[in-house]
Structures are given as C-alpha cells and as structure tokens.
Amino acid sequence: MGRGISIDDLVDAFMGGTVYADKQLVVTRTSAPIGLRFSGEIDINNREAVATSVSAIAAGDVDVHLDVSSLIFCDISGIRAFVEAAENREKGRLMLHGLPELLQTVMRVTGWADLPNLHVCDCRTDSI
C-alpha cells in the first residue's frame, strides 16, 4: 500500500524507536497515538517479548494503541499476550488497529471477541 512518510512516521522514528527486534519481529514505539507497532510474526519464540513490550507501554491508564496491520502472523500465544495485557489494566483500553481479518476470526472462535478492555478498531490504520 504505497503510503508516503508522514510527520507521524518521522516523529516515531526520532522519538520512538525500536523496543524489540528478532529475526521475525520488529516492535517500534509510536507517539501519536501512544502505542506500539508490530511488524512480522509472533509465535511462542517471542510472545514473552511481546508481553513485556505491551505491559511496559500499558503501565499508565490512557488508551494504548497497537498497530498490528503489519503483522504477517500471530499465533494464539501472541493474541493471549495482548488479551492478558488488556485484562491486567485497571483503566484505559488496549486498542488493536488493523487486525487482519483472519486474526479477528481466530479471536471470535476462541472466545476472545468481546473483552471489555481490548478493543478491535474497525478503522484503517493510516487514519488513527
């Protein structure tokens, strides 16, 4: 999807940066909105790192936005990391942006569709 470099991307590049990277996943901090961007694949090899990154950014009580539109693959343990991070929050939601359709199906089938603190955003990622 030919999307040019926006001001947000530049801000993210300078203010945010990479919080985690391995051979199959890069997690970068985003500042507007506050959150993380995930690119690549999540499985049991890096789910701990995902859980740690999300709980660090979700320590406060504002809504936290996770851009998962560049997630090529995410297993149940990865979704579980998002779900548990959301459940552990007392205040503020975890917003998933750009969740691929198949992963929405996975969440519905596995009974994770309607969690109070985890919101799957219908919006397109580039308009958050």
Partner 1 sequence: MSMPAPRIAAFRHEALLYVGWQEFIAATVPFIRDGVKAGEPVLVVESEEKIEMLRVALGAEAGEVLFADMAQVGANPARIIPAWREFVARHAAPGRRMRGIGEPIWKERSSDELVECQRHESLLNVAFGGGEPWWLLCPYDVQKLDEAVITEAKRSHEFVTDRGTARRSDAFRGLEASGAPFDVQLPQPENAASRLVFSAADLDSVRALVAQEARTAGLKASRAAELVIAVNEVATNSIRHGGGRGTLRIWNDDSALVCEIRDHGRFDKPLADRERPSTDSASPRGLWLANHLCDLVQIRTLAVGTVVRLRMNRLPSSHLRVVPNRH
* Interface positions with partner 1 (CB under 8 A): 23-24, 41, 43-45, 73, 75-77, 80, 83-84, 87, 102, 106, 109-112
Q: Which two tokens stand for residue 45?
A: 């090899």
Task: Classify residue 125 by its DSSP letter.
Answer: G
16 or 54: CB nearest partner 1 = 54
Q: Which two tokens stand for residue 87?
A: 């459940």
**Least CB distance to partner 1 at residue 63 (A):** 20
Residues 6+ apart with CB under 8 A from 125: 67, 69, 97, 98
Residues 6+ apart with CB under 8 A from 101: none
26 or 76: CB nearest partner 1 = 76
**Least CB distance to partner 1 at residue 84 (A):** 5
52 or 77: CB nearest partner 1 = 77
30 or 117: CB nearest partner 1 = 117
**Least CB distance to partner 1 at residue 115 (A):** 9
Integer angstrom CA distances of residue 122 from 32, 35, 107, 127: 18, 17, 14, 11
**Least CB distance to partner 1 at residue 12 (A):** 26
Pairing of strands 35-42, 64-74: parallel
